[in-house]
Amino acid sequence: MIWPYEATSNESQVYRPQQAPICSRDRDQPKIIEIGPASITQMVMNATEDVLYYIDRNNQLLKVNLALDGTDVESTRSEYVHSPFHHEEITGMDTCLRKQLIVTCSASYIMIWNYAERKFEVCFKCPPGEEATAVAMHPSGFHIVAAVGDKLLLMNVLSNSISEYHNISQKNCREIRFSNGGHMFAAGLGSYTFIYNFYTVDCPSNQQCKGHSGKIQSIDWFDDDSGFVDSCNQGLCSFYDLQLQREEQKRLQELDFKRRNVVISDVANVPGATNRAIVASAERRLWDTEDHHNGCETRYNISQIQILANGKAAFAGVGELGHPGAVQIWKFPLEMLAEVQAHGAPIERMRLTYNNDFLFTAGKDCCLIIHDVKDKDPRGGLVKRDRDAVQLPFSDEILTEKQEQEEIISKRDQKYNELAAVRDPSQAGVNDKNSANDQEEMIKRLHEVQG
């Protein structure tokens, strides 16, 4: 609560309560994120002293209209200044190809953001007692797969909500990655990497890849989706060819990269190269899997790696406990160029957009940061992927439920009738039959498309 006080001329009581306290937890509907009782840590008023801004211990930035004269008690309700933020460390993050969206997850919430408009879109609250540990977004932006509790949840991203439509009983999942085509996704479950068909949710035994003795830390698909590379916390990085795995249930063992009893926190394929990756180990080094003897010093442990599409440069996120989460910029052959301070705590996740325009970082400080990637190559070839190729525009399509669509059509027809009544009272209600026919025809077409 916020208690307003007014000044007095009484020396024994310089300030006294002016009115009933303002309930700072009363959020305007809809309540995007329900936050329990939390102490206010910072407050400041605007110049006209009619709005109070404050931050609570759950990292939420809110504002409340002040009616100190008590004339407008109903207006004293808190609302978000920008949008709800994560109040727990971010454990998963991903982006997609066809939409300008990012999905992030913390223990309690899965949230989707529009990075072009810098705004919050929708969120999903995890069931009580279950925590989200990883999330991946389909390249279309219409679906996500999240590890929540002891299940993998497959969900549709609708216009105003996130809706679960299927789940798989699997626990101890820390990493989920969609293939570039979106027809498969890989899930790191304990020491196994399971490859699921996204559309049928099948995972036959010959697609359950066993090559590690420790827990899977990271997964990265090859550009053509013919296989992937993964790493574990026991110092092994393995390459898999899916055709060989299906036929003989073997990995490309001769390409294994090993660092005995050392955590390999992340691995990223080098674009345009075959069976070659950059590895980050807990020895404060970056390694090229083609050179097992000469690692590059990073000064701090690296938790995440992202490589530009042309393979000329890379970003490394500092993930060492007790140190701020900086972003290191490297060029090939491995040489550090610069370091940019970003987070106040270690970086947990890092992603690049498909066209390499933006870099996203998420950390244990509960922050999601958007970095602009600038192209300084005069030939125009440093950053952009397929710069001269024809690229698909971002999609404006959305998924919506049938009931919501019918409500929108009904509201539209009602507005048409109201407008017609204003223009010509004698025509009021004439459009009802026509709009009803249009609605039936539209629903019929929708069924045909869905069929």
User: Is residue 65 one of the residues assigned to a domain?
Assistant: yes
Nearest to 362 by CA among 346, 349, 344, 345: 349
| Torsion sign over Cα 326, 330, 334, 337 | negative
Rounded Cα distance between 133 and 147, Å, is 6
Against a cut of 0.75, is the pTM above it?
yes
* Residues 123 and 112 sit within 8 Å (Cβ to Cβ): yes
Number of domains making up the chain: 2
* Parent domain of 434: 409-450
Nearest to 280 by CA among 324, 316, 320: 316
Helix 431-450 with 402-423: angle, nearest 10 deg: 160
- Residue 336, φ and ψ in degrees, nearest 5: -75, 130
Q: Torsion angle of alpha carbons 204, 205, 209, 213, nearest 10°?
A: 140
Which residue is listed with tokens 């795995």? 245
User: In this predicted model, what pLDDT tens digit does every residue of 419-446 receive, in sequence order?
Assistant: 877 776 665 555 555 556 666 666 666 5
Rounded Cα distance between 188 and 218, Å, is 8
Both structure tokens of 136: 């991946």
State which of 61, 80, 99 marks the end of a domain.
80
Element housing 82 (H / E):
none
User: Is residue 110 one of the residues assigned to a domain?
Assistant: no
Peptide bond just before 37 cis, omega within 30 deg: no
Burial class (CB in 10 A: 0-12, 13-18, 19+), 388: exposed
Q: Which residues contact 294 (CB under 8 A, 6 or more apart)?
A: none
Rounded Cα distance between 266 and 318, Å, is 11
User: Is residue 192 one of the residues assigned to a domain?
Assistant: no
Other beta carbons within 10 angstroms of residue 422's beta carbon come to 9
The DSSP call for residue 375 is: -
Other beta carbons within 10 angstroms of residue 158's beta carbon come to 15
Nearest to 132 by CA among 157, 118, 153: 153
Rounded Cα distance between 413 and 419, Å, is 10
Rounded Cα distance between 51 and 431, Å, is 46
User: Is residue 427 one of the residues assigned to a domain?
Assistant: yes
pLDDT at 310: 83
User: In this predicted model, what pLDDT tens digit does every residue of 334-390 receive, in sequence order?
Assistant: 899 999 999 999 999 999 998 889 999 999 999 999 999 986 664 444 445 554 455
How many CA atoms does the CB half-sphere of 165 hold within 13 Å?
16
State which of 80, 107, 133 marks the end of a domain.
80
Query: For the chain, which ranges sit under pLDDT 70?
Result: 1-7, 9, 11-38, 67-76, 375-391, 424-451
Rounded Cα distance between 229 and 402, Å, is 41
Rounded Cα distance between 141 and 69, Å, is 49
User: Is residue 26 one of the residues assigned to a domain?
Assistant: yes
pLDDT at 29: 36
* Residues 173 and 186 sit within 8 Å (Cβ to Cβ): no
User: Is residue 136 one of the residues assigned to a domain?
Assistant: no
Rounded Cα distance between 143 and 140, Å, is 7
Rounded Cα distance between 384 and 185, Å, is 25
Q: How many helices (H) and strands (E) does the chain have?
A: 3, 33
State which of 80, 101, 127 marks the end of a domain.
80
User: Is residue 172 one of the residues assigned to a domain?
Assistant: no
Which residue is listed with tokens 């990292």? 59
User: Is residue 187 one of the residues assigned to a domain?
Assistant: no
* Residues 124 and 141 sit within 8 Å (Cβ to Cβ): no
pLDDT at 17: 62
Both structure tokens of 64: 């409340």
Both structure tokens of 105: 């997850």
